[in-house]
Structure 1
């Protein structure tokens, strides 16, 4: 049998054909080593065990978050032989393995996002009171969904629009982000966006501390309420949300008040309003009484002032009244109906009228 001879490029091409046919995407678990990012875009790293190491390549958009050497990763990708750089695996997805690795990655990501201000309290919005409809992102087959709906139904009630997602596994993060985008783009967005799941291990909850999901929740135009039933550790999604609930049931309790409590609250508000009206009315009546007293006093003072002025005018008028002069013994001489004010105006044989206080007499100038 003749042994074939290959050119270098041909051999690389044949090897890649064999790899493509023989291997569907492979999944490899190992310890991260030689991790580096080139030009803020390309990522190179190795996965190793005690005996071997394999090179990997991907873009920064494939990363689940900040990584460090020593973490344990589960990487899925396609093997290939590069003409210049040799054998490597082109990465399709990366998952963290082990609570230590997950916790370390979460801490790195948390520090990064906190520095960007994603968890600042002053950026958090207040949830609307008594929302009429909410958007719910969760697995519709989960106990978390059942608990949430049960509490909502037993209380005040509201319209719940659902978006079914996986809450763990490789597809969870992508589907949760899809749910956030779906409700944001609807013609009538819900008043609150609720994201819930029950408890689980650190591996199970990875999606809720992924960078992509955390950023999607922080950037949501709809106020967010996140409830992960895992009290020991708080996910980054919960820290980025406008409000966090301890469990799915607690999330329902936050959104929907108890009927009896709400009736008591309304009655209390009505009583306060009634008392406020009564107090206001009492105050106005008292003020009206004060104003009436003040007005009466003003009127009395004005009348007295006018009476004094009238008396003064009356006294002046009396002083100027000719009849009052006659009472003091004076007379008024008239000729042809006109008052004679000077003797020079009188001549002999002219007839005059002399007015006394008690009558008029005629006379003739001699």
Structure 2
């Protein structure tokens, strides 16, 4: 019978850790969160439990997907180890929310936290250029979302550029890749006019990346206007709430960004036709006014001529009436003394030589 090895305490801990590290370098454990606490705003301690057991975990606050509460279901990736003083625990590598109820509860907690910071305020939101010349697209190149977005854009408009940054839109690596894409476009020398982050629908776990604090903050912090389109009408993700605009689907995102070329052409034709009709009506009204004015002008001119003729005739009659020759014909006479018209009886005396002018001649006296 082989002998059972005898270890010192430290040796046993070392051998145990070596054996576990070789057999299980990392493990994934799912359970209910309990005894959750944060120490010095840096370290986190918690247990995962089920009906029969519980396991202790240790990690960094940077491992947290967002605010957590006891009772949530978590899926934790970590490396098991036996600590010389504190016993068995698992060092956290990553934490995922597990179960629809937990995911929704975590999203509400994070929403309350970020709302206090003003990340969802309407005053922060910017107008998107319409239509943009350059779109930065963040999605999976193999997804139906990408195909739908590009197809709708192409059918509605032309002459714009789409720059794709291929990312995973679910899973453990998705947050890091989406944040990297946002940073890439924001630091690009030829920055897009708008950034579109999109994917199709899915379960709450599939869409969990868009409810993470890191992705939500990255969307809110983009210096380029953002549009987030997650194909899930029931719940609005935090990333959508932080974006400048949200769309219900990838196709809807394309519709919001660019006009429909055929509709624009039809509207342009209608506007052109209305303008042409308006001009024709204005010309017709002007012609009517000109014709009426022409008739009125002729009537006015004729009236003026008649008035001038009457006035001229009156003047002629007046001149004729006061003409000396006319007066003489009525039996009057003009008396001159030394060639000067006599206007008073005092201008002459007995014995003066005078000339008298009548209608048919003159004589002396």
- Fold in common (TM above 0.5): yes
Query: Which residues of 2 match residues 28-67 of structure 1 at below 5 A?
Result: 28-67=29-68
Aligned twin of 2:172: 170
Shift of residue 264, structure 1, vs aligned partner: 5.0
Query: Which residues of 2 match residues 288-307 of structure 1 at below 5 A?
Result: none
Aligned twin of 1:219: 221
Query: Which residues of 2 match residues 1-366 of structure 1 at below 5 A?
Result: 1-157=2-158, 158-263=160-265
Gaps of 5+ in 1: 283-366
Shift of residue 9, structure 1, vs aligned partner: 2.4
Alignment coverage as a number of residue pairs: 279
Shift of residue 186, structure 1, vs aligned partner: 1.4
Shift of residue 131, structure 1, vs aligned partner: 0.8
- CA displacement 1:153-206 (0-9 Å, x = unmatched): 101122110011111111111111111111111111111000000011111100
TM-score by length of 2: 0.72
Check 1:273–1:64 CA distance in 2 against 1; reply closer, same or farther (3 A cut): farther
- CA displacement 1:298-330 (0-9 Å, x = unmatched): xxxxxxxxxxxxxxxxxxxxxxxxxxxxxxxxx
Gaps of 5+ in 2: 287-365
Whole-angstrom distance in 1 between the partners of 2:67 and 2:25: 28
- What SS is found at the alignment partner of 2:145? helix
Check 1:273–1:131 CA distance in 2 against 1; reply closer, same or farther (3 A cut): farther
The farther-off stretch of 222-231 and 2-11 is 2-11
Whole-angstrom distance in 2 between the partners of 1:114 and 1:82: 40
Shift of residue 263, structure 1, vs aligned partner: 3.2
TM-score by length of 1: 0.72
Whole-angstrom distance in 1 between the partners of 2:185 and 2:175: 16
CA RMSD, aligned part only? 2.3
- What SS is found at the alignment partner of 1:94? strand
- What SS is found at the alignment partner of 2:12? helix
Shift of residue 222, structure 1, vs aligned partner: 0.7
Whole-angstrom distance in 2 between the partners of 1:4 and 1:259: 82
Whole-angstrom distance in 2 between the partners of 1:170 and 1:228: 18
Whole-angstrom distance in 2 between the partners of 1:270 and 1:184: 41
Whole-angstrom distance in 2 between the partners of 1:94 and 1:272: 63
The farther-off stretch of 266-275 and 117-126 is 266-275
Shift of residue 253, structure 1, vs aligned partner: 0.6
Check 1:7–1:271 CA distance in 2 against 1; reply closer, same or farther (3 A cut): farther
Whole-angstrom distance in 2 between the partners of 1:20 and 1:27: 14
- What SS is found at the alignment partner of 1:231? coil
- What SS is found at the alignment partner of 1:88? strand
Check 1:270–1:141 CA distance in 2 against 1; reply closer, same or farther (3 A cut): same
